[in-house]
Amino acid sequence: MDKSMITYIVIGLIIGFIAGMIFMNFVSQKGRKYAKLKRECEQAQEELVSQKQMMVKHFSHSAEILDNMAKEFRRLYQHIAETSGQFSTFDDMPMIDLEANKDISVKNKLTLEEQPKDYSDNPSGLFKTDDIKS
């Protein structure tokens, strides 16, 4: 045998082995399952990436809205603080003396004599059997 013939045989075996592997991947049931699972995995990864992008977009938009709200509340507080002195002063506000009323009847109306019941005194009849109801 010639050296060139051995080279051709080795190259033919390598090409045949590669062609056989490719053919087996497409024809065999394991190869088809593998290809199907690979496609599903790639699709799930794409969906995961798109969901992550949506979440990042959502949270950045929410942070922007909260930042705007904080700025607006700050403006509102400053406005109220600046204009509160214009309408009334501390001297104009009436003072309410809560201890001035020494009448005990008013105080008794505001306080409870006993703790209120959290149930009704009258039975509803919900748990009675037919023998007792009739």
- As given in the structure block, the two tokens for residue 35 are 């290809």
Q: Give the residue ranges of the chain where pLDDT is below 50.
A: none
* pLDDT at res. 95: 63
How many whole angstroms separate alpha carbon 118 and alpha carbon 116? 6
pLDDT digits (tens, 9 = 90+) for 26-40: 777 777 788 889 999
Q: Which amino acid is at 12?
A: G
Phi and psi angles of residue 41, each rounded to the nearest 5 degrees, phi first: -65, -45
For residue 117, how many C-alpha atoms fall within 13 Å in the half-sphere facing its CB? 4
* pLDDT at res. 68: 96
With beta carbons less than 8 A apart as the criterion, state whether 25 and 35 touch.
yes
What number of helices (H) and strands (E) belong to the chain?
4, 0
How many whole angstroms separate alpha carbon 110 and alpha carbon 22? 90
Compute and round to an integer the Cα radius of gyration of the chain.
43
* pLDDT at res. 28: 74
* pLDDT at res. 128: 72
